Amino acid sequence: MLRAVASWLARRSPARAEPPHFKIARIEPASPTPPIESVEVDWAPSDADPRLAPPVIRVTPRTTTEGVIAGVVVMDGVVPAVHLTPRADRDCDRALECPYAGYLNPHALPERFTLDVVALLKDGQRRRLARLHGSCRGIKDRYRFELEPGGVVSLGRSGSTIMLAYLACHPDIVVWEPFELEAWYIPYHARLFETLTNPRQWMAPVGAKDMLALEQPGWLGELGAPPLAHWAQYPAAAEWFAGGYVERMYRAQMDALQQWYSTVARRGGTLRARMMFEKMTPPTHGVSRRVIPGLHAIFLVRDPRDVYASIRAFDHKRGYRAFGRERFESEEAYIRHVLAGSMEMLRQEWERHKDRALLMRYEDLITDPRTELARVFRHLGLDAKRRTVDKVIEDTHAMNPAAQARHRTASTPRDSIQRFRSELEPEVIALCDEVFARSLAAFGYSPAVG
Protein backbone atom coordinates (compact mmCIF):
# COMPACT_ATOMS: atom_id res chain seq x y z
CA MET A 1 0.00 0.00 0.00
CA LEU A 2 1.29 3.50 -0.85
CA ARG A 3 2.85 5.37 2.05
CA ALA A 4 2.43 9.07 1.18
CA VAL A 5 3.87 11.24 3.91
CA ALA A 6 4.72 14.90 4.29
CA SER A 7 7.73 13.98 6.38
CA TRP A 8 8.29 17.26 8.14
CA LEU A 9 4.77 17.07 9.59
CA ALA A 10 5.48 13.66 11.05
CA ARG A 11 8.94 14.43 12.41
CA ARG A 12 8.92 18.07 13.46
CA SER A 13 9.88 18.97 17.01
CA PRO A 14 9.73 22.30 18.90
CA ALA A 15 13.27 22.99 17.71
CA ARG A 16 12.27 22.51 14.04
CA ALA A 17 9.99 25.41 13.14
CA GLU A 18 7.41 25.13 10.40
CA PRO A 19 8.60 26.94 7.26
CA PRO A 20 6.58 30.13 6.77
CA HIS A 21 7.03 30.20 2.98
CA PHE A 22 6.32 26.62 1.94
CA LYS A 23 3.87 24.05 3.27
CA ILE A 24 2.61 20.69 2.03
CA ALA A 25 -0.96 20.32 3.28
CA ARG A 26 -1.53 16.78 2.03
CA ILE A 27 -0.29 14.15 -0.40
CA GLU A 28 -2.92 12.10 -2.23
CA PRO A 29 -1.92 8.74 -3.72
CA ALA A 30 -3.26 8.06 -7.17
CA SER A 31 -5.99 5.52 -7.69
CA PRO A 32 -5.71 2.67 -8.53
CA THR A 33 -2.65 1.99 -6.40
CA PRO A 34 0.43 3.25 -8.27
CA PRO A 35 3.63 1.21 -8.64
CA ILE A 36 5.52 2.98 -5.84
CA GLU A 37 6.26 2.51 -2.16
CA SER A 38 6.28 6.14 -1.05
CA VAL A 39 6.20 9.81 -1.98
CA GLU A 40 7.78 12.06 0.64
CA VAL A 41 8.63 15.73 1.03
CA ASP A 42 11.37 16.65 3.48
CA TRP A 43 14.05 19.29 3.96
CA ALA A 44 17.67 18.93 2.92
CA PRO A 45 19.64 18.38 6.14
CA SER A 46 21.52 21.39 7.39
CA ASP A 47 22.87 22.83 10.59
CA ALA A 48 21.33 26.13 9.55
CA ASP A 49 17.75 27.15 10.25
CA PRO A 50 15.80 24.27 8.62
CA ARG A 51 13.25 26.75 7.34
CA LEU A 52 15.90 28.02 4.93
CA ALA A 53 16.88 24.65 3.45
CA PRO A 54 15.25 23.69 0.15
CA PRO A 55 12.43 21.12 0.17
CA VAL A 56 13.24 17.71 -1.30
CA ILE A 57 10.77 15.36 -2.94
CA ARG A 58 11.58 11.65 -2.92
CA VAL A 59 9.80 8.86 -4.80
CA THR A 60 10.55 5.19 -4.10
CA PRO A 61 9.22 2.69 -6.69
CA ARG A 62 8.38 -0.85 -5.73
CA THR A 63 11.26 -3.22 -6.37
CA THR A 64 9.19 -5.22 -8.83
CA THR A 65 8.41 -2.15 -10.98
CA GLU A 66 11.70 -0.22 -11.00
CA GLY A 67 12.49 -1.49 -14.48
CA VAL A 68 9.13 -0.28 -15.81
CA ILE A 69 9.65 3.36 -14.85
CA ALA A 70 11.97 5.36 -17.09
CA GLY A 71 11.73 8.60 -15.13
CA VAL A 72 9.69 10.68 -12.71
CA VAL A 73 8.62 14.29 -13.18
CA VAL A 74 6.69 16.68 -10.94
CA MET A 75 4.18 18.71 -12.97
CA ASP A 76 2.70 22.10 -12.12
CA GLY A 77 -0.28 21.95 -14.45
CA VAL A 78 1.14 21.70 -17.96
CA VAL A 79 4.63 22.84 -16.89
CA PRO A 80 7.30 20.53 -15.38
CA ALA A 81 8.33 21.81 -11.93
CA VAL A 82 11.24 19.40 -11.49
CA HIS A 83 12.59 16.23 -13.09
CA LEU A 84 13.54 13.75 -10.39
CA THR A 85 16.83 12.01 -10.95
CA PRO A 86 17.67 8.41 -10.01
CA ARG A 87 20.02 8.23 -7.07
CA ALA A 88 22.57 5.42 -7.11
CA ASP A 89 25.23 7.08 -4.93
CA ARG A 90 24.25 6.09 -1.40
CA ASP A 91 27.19 7.94 0.14
CA CYS A 92 25.38 11.29 -0.21
CA ASP A 93 23.18 12.95 2.37
CA ARG A 94 20.31 10.82 3.58
CA ALA A 95 17.55 13.16 2.41
CA LEU A 96 18.15 12.09 -1.17
CA GLU A 97 18.85 8.38 -0.66
CA CYS A 98 16.16 6.86 -2.85
CA PRO A 99 15.76 5.89 -6.49
CA TYR A 100 14.23 9.25 -7.58
CA ALA A 101 14.72 12.59 -5.86
CA GLY A 102 15.05 16.29 -6.53
CA TYR A 103 14.93 19.73 -4.99
CA LEU A 104 11.70 21.69 -5.33
CA ASN A 105 12.07 25.40 -5.92
CA PRO A 106 9.51 27.00 -3.57
CA HIS A 107 10.20 30.40 -5.08
CA ALA A 108 8.85 29.23 -8.44
CA LEU A 109 5.49 27.98 -7.17
CA PRO A 110 2.18 29.88 -6.95
CA GLU A 111 0.66 30.88 -3.62
CA ARG A 112 -1.57 27.78 -3.66
CA PHE A 113 -0.33 24.90 -5.73
CA THR A 114 -1.25 21.41 -6.83
CA LEU A 115 1.62 19.31 -8.13
CA ASP A 116 1.27 15.97 -9.89
CA VAL A 117 4.00 13.36 -9.46
CA VAL A 118 4.07 11.52 -12.79
CA ALA A 119 5.95 8.38 -13.83
CA LEU A 120 7.35 8.29 -17.36
CA LEU A 121 6.98 4.64 -18.34
CA LYS A 122 9.30 2.86 -20.75
CA ASP A 123 6.44 2.15 -23.16
CA GLY A 124 6.00 5.92 -23.64
CA GLN A 125 2.93 6.25 -21.43
CA ARG A 126 2.57 8.50 -18.40
CA ARG A 127 0.99 7.58 -15.10
CA ARG A 128 0.16 9.85 -12.19
CA LEU A 129 1.60 8.54 -8.94
CA ALA A 130 0.43 11.12 -6.44
CA ARG A 131 -0.86 14.68 -6.07
CA LEU A 132 0.62 17.24 -3.69
CA HIS A 133 -1.42 20.14 -2.33
CA GLY A 134 0.30 23.03 -0.63
CA SER A 135 0.87 26.73 -0.29
CA CYS A 136 3.82 29.06 -0.76
CA ARG A 137 4.22 32.71 0.13
CA GLY A 138 7.28 34.83 -0.29
CA ILE A 139 8.95 37.73 -1.99
CA LYS A 140 6.75 37.64 -5.13
CA ASP A 141 3.82 39.08 -3.17
CA ARG A 142 5.77 42.18 -2.20
CA TYR A 143 6.78 43.44 -5.65
CA ARG A 144 4.70 46.28 -7.09
CA PHE A 145 4.56 46.69 -10.88
CA GLU A 146 4.23 50.08 -12.51
CA LEU A 147 3.40 48.30 -15.77
CA GLU A 148 1.29 45.27 -14.87
CA PRO A 149 2.13 42.17 -16.98
CA GLY A 150 -0.51 40.33 -18.98
CA GLY A 151 -0.80 37.67 -21.65
CA VAL A 152 -3.12 36.60 -24.45
CA VAL A 153 -3.08 32.83 -23.91
CA SER A 154 -3.81 31.03 -27.14
CA LEU A 155 -2.61 28.68 -29.86
CA GLY A 156 -1.21 29.66 -33.24
CA ARG A 157 -3.74 30.76 -35.88
CA SER A 158 -6.37 31.55 -33.24
CA GLY A 159 -6.50 35.34 -33.49
CA SER A 160 -3.84 36.24 -30.95
CA THR A 161 -2.07 38.59 -33.38
CA ILE A 162 -5.15 40.73 -34.07
CA MET A 163 -6.01 40.62 -30.37
CA LEU A 164 -2.56 41.97 -29.46
CA ALA A 165 -2.99 44.69 -32.08
CA TYR A 166 -6.29 45.75 -30.48
CA LEU A 167 -4.61 45.86 -27.07
CA ALA A 168 -1.68 47.86 -28.46
CA CYS A 169 -4.09 50.55 -29.65
CA HIS A 170 -5.52 51.14 -26.18
CA PRO A 171 -3.72 54.11 -24.58
CA ASP A 172 -3.19 52.24 -21.30
CA ILE A 173 -1.45 49.17 -22.80
CA VAL A 174 1.98 48.73 -24.33
CA VAL A 175 2.72 45.89 -26.78
CA TRP A 176 5.87 45.19 -28.78
CA GLU A 177 5.34 45.49 -32.58
CA PRO A 178 2.07 43.66 -33.41
CA PHE A 179 2.05 41.94 -36.85
CA GLU A 180 5.85 42.19 -37.13
CA LEU A 181 7.67 40.57 -34.21
CA GLU A 182 6.54 38.54 -31.24
CA ALA A 183 8.04 39.31 -27.84
CA TRP A 184 8.31 36.77 -25.04
CA TYR A 185 9.99 38.87 -22.37
CA ILE A 186 7.54 38.05 -19.58
CA PRO A 187 8.13 34.26 -19.63
CA TYR A 188 11.81 34.91 -20.44
CA HIS A 189 12.41 36.81 -17.22
CA ALA A 190 10.16 34.45 -15.27
CA ARG A 191 12.20 31.47 -16.46
CA LEU A 192 15.46 33.27 -15.69
CA PHE A 193 14.28 33.81 -12.12
CA GLU A 194 13.30 30.15 -11.80
CA THR A 195 16.69 29.02 -13.06
CA LEU A 196 18.74 31.40 -10.94
CA THR A 197 16.85 30.47 -7.76
CA ASN A 198 16.65 26.73 -8.37
CA PRO A 199 18.58 25.16 -5.46
CA ARG A 200 19.96 22.46 -7.75
CA GLN A 201 21.36 24.97 -10.22
CA TRP A 202 22.58 27.41 -7.61
CA MET A 203 24.57 24.67 -5.86
CA ALA A 204 25.90 23.19 -9.12
CA PRO A 205 29.14 25.24 -9.28
CA VAL A 206 30.40 23.15 -6.34
CA GLY A 207 30.70 20.14 -8.67
CA ALA A 208 33.92 20.61 -10.65
CA LYS A 209 32.91 17.94 -13.17
CA ASP A 210 30.04 20.17 -14.27
CA MET A 211 32.23 23.16 -15.06
CA LEU A 212 32.75 21.92 -18.63
CA ALA A 213 29.25 23.21 -19.32
CA LEU A 214 30.46 26.74 -18.60
CA GLU A 215 32.75 26.51 -21.62
CA GLN A 216 29.75 26.25 -23.92
CA PRO A 217 27.36 29.03 -25.05
CA GLY A 218 23.86 28.66 -23.78
CA TRP A 219 24.96 26.86 -20.63
CA LEU A 220 22.45 28.50 -18.28
CA GLY A 221 20.36 25.85 -16.56
CA GLU A 222 22.40 23.00 -18.01
CA LEU A 223 24.72 22.34 -15.10
CA GLY A 224 24.51 18.83 -13.69
CA ALA A 225 23.56 17.64 -10.24
CA PRO A 226 25.71 19.06 -7.41
CA PRO A 227 27.09 17.18 -4.42
CA LEU A 228 23.99 16.59 -2.35
CA ALA A 229 25.68 17.25 0.99
CA HIS A 230 26.16 20.91 0.10
CA TRP A 231 23.58 22.32 2.50
CA ALA A 232 24.84 20.22 5.39
CA GLN A 233 28.47 21.19 4.79
CA TYR A 234 27.84 24.89 4.34
CA PRO A 235 24.91 25.99 6.54
CA ALA A 236 25.86 29.64 6.08
CA ALA A 237 25.15 29.21 2.34
CA ALA A 238 21.53 28.32 3.07
CA GLU A 239 21.11 31.40 5.20
CA TRP A 240 22.67 33.62 2.52
CA PHE A 241 20.69 32.04 -0.30
CA ALA A 242 17.29 32.34 1.39
CA GLY A 243 18.10 35.51 3.28
CA GLY A 244 18.59 37.94 0.42
CA TYR A 245 19.82 36.33 -2.78
CA VAL A 246 16.38 35.17 -3.92
CA GLU A 247 14.73 38.53 -3.35
CA ARG A 248 17.51 40.35 -5.19
CA MET A 249 17.17 37.98 -8.14
CA TYR A 250 13.42 38.51 -8.29
CA ARG A 251 13.73 42.28 -8.16
CA ALA A 252 16.47 42.22 -10.80
CA GLN A 253 14.34 40.24 -13.27
CA MET A 254 11.13 42.16 -12.68
CA ASP A 255 12.96 45.52 -12.78
CA ALA A 256 14.52 44.54 -16.12
CA LEU A 257 11.08 43.61 -17.46
CA GLN A 258 9.65 46.94 -16.29
CA GLN A 259 12.52 48.96 -17.73
CA TRP A 260 12.29 47.24 -21.11
CA TYR A 261 8.58 47.89 -21.53
CA SER A 262 8.96 51.44 -20.23
CA THR A 263 11.42 51.91 -23.10
CA VAL A 264 8.92 50.39 -25.54
CA ALA A 265 6.20 52.68 -24.19
CA ARG A 266 8.36 55.79 -24.69
CA ARG A 267 9.28 54.63 -28.18
CA GLY A 268 5.62 54.16 -29.09
CA GLY A 269 4.33 57.25 -27.36
CA THR A 270 2.16 55.32 -24.87
CA LEU A 271 3.47 57.24 -21.89
CA ARG A 272 0.33 56.74 -19.78
CA ALA A 273 0.47 52.95 -20.17
CA ARG A 274 -0.43 50.89 -17.11
CA MET A 275 -0.04 47.40 -18.56
CA MET A 276 2.21 45.36 -20.85
CA PHE A 277 0.85 42.44 -22.89
CA GLU A 278 2.39 39.57 -24.86
CA LYS A 279 1.28 36.38 -26.57
CA MET A 280 1.56 33.28 -24.42
CA THR A 281 1.16 29.56 -25.00
CA PRO A 282 -0.34 27.45 -22.20
CA PRO A 283 3.14 26.41 -20.91
CA THR A 284 4.63 29.93 -21.05
CA HIS A 285 1.55 31.22 -19.28
CA GLY A 286 2.06 28.58 -16.59
CA VAL A 287 5.68 29.63 -16.08
CA SER A 288 4.77 33.31 -16.02
CA ARG A 289 1.83 32.87 -13.66
CA ARG A 290 3.73 30.98 -11.00
CA VAL A 291 6.47 33.64 -10.91
CA ILE A 292 4.10 36.63 -11.32
CA PRO A 293 1.00 35.84 -9.22
CA GLY A 294 -0.96 38.90 -10.39
CA LEU A 295 -0.51 38.21 -14.11
CA HIS A 296 -3.50 39.30 -16.21
CA ALA A 297 -4.68 36.65 -18.67
CA ILE A 298 -7.07 36.65 -21.60
CA PHE A 299 -7.68 33.14 -22.92
CA LEU A 300 -8.50 33.36 -26.62
CA VAL A 301 -9.89 30.17 -28.11
CA ARG A 302 -10.95 29.21 -31.62
CA ASP A 303 -12.75 26.22 -33.06
CA PRO A 304 -9.82 23.77 -33.35
CA ARG A 305 -11.07 22.54 -36.73
CA ASP A 306 -10.73 26.09 -38.04
CA VAL A 307 -7.33 26.36 -36.38
CA TYR A 308 -6.17 23.37 -38.42
CA ALA A 309 -7.75 24.69 -41.63
CA SER A 310 -6.01 28.03 -41.08
CA ILE A 311 -2.65 26.33 -40.45
CA ARG A 312 -2.95 24.43 -43.71
CA ALA A 313 -3.91 27.58 -45.61
CA PHE A 314 -1.09 29.63 -44.08
CA ASP A 315 1.48 26.94 -44.85
CA HIS A 316 0.22 26.79 -48.44
CA LYS A 317 0.39 30.57 -48.75
CA ARG A 318 4.01 30.67 -47.57
CA GLY A 319 5.08 27.56 -49.47
CA TYR A 320 6.37 25.50 -46.56
CA ARG A 321 5.10 23.55 -43.56
CA ALA A 322 5.32 24.95 -40.04
CA PHE A 323 3.53 24.76 -36.68
CA GLY A 324 5.04 21.30 -36.20
CA ARG A 325 3.49 19.85 -39.39
CA GLU A 326 6.96 19.53 -40.91
CA ARG A 327 7.77 16.76 -38.41
CA PHE A 328 4.95 14.44 -39.49
CA GLU A 329 4.31 12.53 -42.67
CA SER A 330 0.57 12.11 -42.11
CA GLU A 331 -2.01 14.74 -41.22
CA GLU A 332 -3.68 12.31 -38.83
CA ALA A 333 -0.49 11.92 -36.80
CA TYR A 334 -0.08 15.70 -36.62
CA ILE A 335 -3.66 16.25 -35.48
CA ARG A 336 -3.49 13.47 -32.89
CA HIS A 337 -0.03 14.16 -31.48
CA VAL A 338 0.32 17.94 -31.75
CA LEU A 339 -2.96 19.79 -32.14
CA ALA A 340 -4.98 17.56 -29.83
CA GLY A 341 -2.34 17.82 -27.12
CA SER A 342 -2.08 21.59 -27.52
CA MET A 343 -5.85 22.03 -27.26
CA GLU A 344 -5.94 19.85 -24.17
CA MET A 345 -3.17 21.91 -22.54
CA LEU A 346 -5.12 25.07 -23.32
CA ARG A 347 -8.25 23.59 -21.79
CA GLN A 348 -6.40 22.46 -18.66
CA GLU A 349 -4.68 25.81 -18.21
CA TRP A 350 -8.02 27.61 -18.53
CA GLU A 351 -9.63 25.31 -15.96
CA ARG A 352 -6.78 26.00 -13.51
CA HIS A 353 -6.97 29.78 -13.81
CA LYS A 354 -10.51 30.62 -14.90
CA ASP A 355 -11.33 32.31 -11.59
CA ARG A 356 -8.76 35.03 -12.39
CA ALA A 357 -8.83 35.12 -16.20
CA LEU A 358 -11.17 36.05 -19.04
CA LEU A 359 -12.28 33.66 -21.79
CA MET A 360 -12.95 34.99 -25.29
CA ARG A 361 -13.88 33.12 -28.46
CA TYR A 362 -12.29 34.12 -31.74
CA GLU A 363 -15.66 33.95 -33.45
CA ASP A 364 -17.15 36.52 -31.06
CA LEU A 365 -14.17 38.84 -31.44
CA ILE A 366 -14.48 38.75 -35.25
CA THR A 367 -18.25 39.20 -35.45
CA ASP A 368 -18.66 41.75 -32.64
CA PRO A 369 -15.31 43.35 -31.77
CA ARG A 370 -16.89 46.38 -30.08
CA THR A 371 -18.70 44.29 -27.46
CA GLU A 372 -15.81 41.89 -26.89
CA LEU A 373 -13.15 44.58 -26.58
CA ALA A 374 -15.28 46.56 -24.14
CA ARG A 375 -15.60 43.37 -22.09
CA VAL A 376 -11.82 42.90 -22.12
CA PHE A 377 -11.08 46.48 -21.10
CA ARG A 378 -13.63 46.36 -18.27
CA HIS A 379 -12.09 43.11 -17.04
CA LEU A 380 -8.68 44.81 -16.97
CA GLY A 381 -10.05 47.86 -15.18
CA LEU A 382 -9.29 50.15 -18.15
CA ASP A 383 -11.26 52.77 -20.05
CA ALA A 384 -14.01 50.91 -21.94
CA LYS A 385 -16.08 53.87 -23.14
CA ARG A 386 -17.63 53.63 -26.60
CA ARG A 387 -15.39 56.32 -28.11
CA THR A 388 -12.28 54.62 -26.73
CA VAL A 389 -13.25 51.21 -28.12
CA ASP A 390 -14.18 52.72 -31.51
CA LYS A 391 -10.80 54.47 -31.68
CA VAL A 392 -9.03 51.20 -30.81
CA ILE A 393 -10.83 49.39 -33.66
CA GLU A 394 -10.16 52.21 -36.14
CA ASP A 395 -6.46 52.41 -35.29
CA THR A 396 -6.05 48.63 -35.41
CA HIS A 397 -7.59 48.30 -38.86
CA ALA A 398 -5.25 51.04 -40.13
CA MET A 399 -2.15 49.44 -38.57
CA ASN A 400 0.41 48.04 -41.01
CA PRO A 401 -2.01 46.90 -43.76
CA ALA A 402 0.72 45.07 -45.69
CA ALA A 403 1.59 42.90 -42.66
CA GLN A 404 -2.08 42.23 -41.98
CA ALA A 405 -2.52 41.08 -45.57
CA ARG A 406 0.45 38.70 -45.25
CA HIS A 407 -1.08 37.20 -42.11
CA ARG A 408 -4.56 36.72 -43.56
CA THR A 409 -5.68 33.47 -45.25
CA ALA A 410 -9.40 34.17 -45.78
CA SER A 411 -10.91 36.76 -48.09
CA THR A 412 -12.72 38.44 -45.18
CA PRO A 413 -12.53 37.92 -41.40
CA ARG A 414 -16.04 36.46 -41.35
CA ASP A 415 -15.03 33.92 -44.00
CA SER A 416 -12.51 32.53 -41.49
CA ILE A 417 -15.35 31.24 -39.30
CA GLN A 418 -16.50 27.66 -39.93
CA ARG A 419 -14.08 27.47 -42.84
CA PHE A 420 -13.32 23.86 -41.98
CA ARG A 421 -16.67 22.78 -43.48
CA SER A 422 -15.56 23.73 -46.99
CA GLU A 423 -11.78 23.28 -46.66
CA LEU A 424 -11.30 20.01 -44.77
CA GLU A 425 -12.03 16.54 -46.09
CA PRO A 426 -14.95 14.67 -44.43
CA GLU A 427 -12.65 12.08 -42.89
CA VAL A 428 -10.45 14.84 -41.42
CA ILE A 429 -13.49 16.58 -39.95
CA ALA A 430 -14.57 13.29 -38.37
CA LEU A 431 -11.07 12.81 -36.95
CA CYS A 432 -11.13 16.34 -35.51
CA ASP A 433 -14.52 15.75 -33.90
CA GLU A 434 -13.05 12.66 -32.26
CA VAL A 435 -9.74 14.00 -30.95
CA PHE A 436 -11.01 17.47 -30.03
CA ALA A 437 -14.24 16.27 -28.39
CA ARG A 438 -13.32 17.41 -24.89
CA SER A 439 -12.07 20.83 -25.99
CA LEU A 440 -15.02 21.39 -28.29
CA ALA A 441 -17.42 20.79 -25.41
CA ALA A 442 -15.41 22.87 -22.93
CA PHE A 443 -15.32 25.93 -25.17
CA GLY A 444 -18.86 25.71 -26.53
CA TYR A 445 -18.37 24.24 -30.02
CA SER A 446 -20.61 21.55 -31.50
CA PRO A 447 -19.54 18.40 -33.38
CA ALA A 448 -19.84 18.74 -37.15
CA VAL A 449 -21.78 15.47 -37.36
CA GLY A 450 -24.42 14.13 -35.02
Q: What is the domain partition of the chain in residue ranges?
A: 3-137, 141-193+254-302+354-417
For the chain, what is the radius of gyration of the CA atoms?
24
Residue 420 has a pLDDT of 97
Give me the sheet containing 296-301, strands edge to edge. Answer: 173-174, 275-280, 148-153, 296-301, 358-361
Protein fold of 141-193+254-302+354-417: Rossmann fold (3.40.50)
Residue 92 has a pLDDT of 44
Q: How far apart are CA 180 and CA 178, in angstroms?
A: 5
CATH number for region 3-137? 2.60.40
Neighbours of 143 (CB within 10 A): 16
Residue 4 has a pLDDT of 39
Residues of the chain with pLDDT under 50: 1-20, 89-96, 208, 227, 229
Q: Report how far apart, in Å, the C-alpha atoms of 316 and of each of 190, 311, 326, 387 are.
A: 35, 9, 12, 39
Residue 83 has a pLDDT of 86
Q: How far apart are CA 155 and CA 161, in angstroms?
A: 11
pTM score, two decimals? 0.89
Tell me if 58 sits within 8 A of 40, measured CB to CB. Answer: yes
Residue 224 has a pLDDT of 63
Mind listing the pLDDT tens digit for each residue in 411-424?
Answer: 999 999 999 999 99
Q: How far apart are CA 303 and CA 202, in angstroms?
A: 44
Residue 363 has a pLDDT of 98
Residue 268 has a pLDDT of 87
Q: How far apart are CA 259 and CA 271, in angstroms?
A: 13
Residue 56 has a pLDDT of 82
Residue 14 has a pLDDT of 31
| Residue 1 per-residue DSSP state | -
Classify 151 as helix, strand or coil: strand
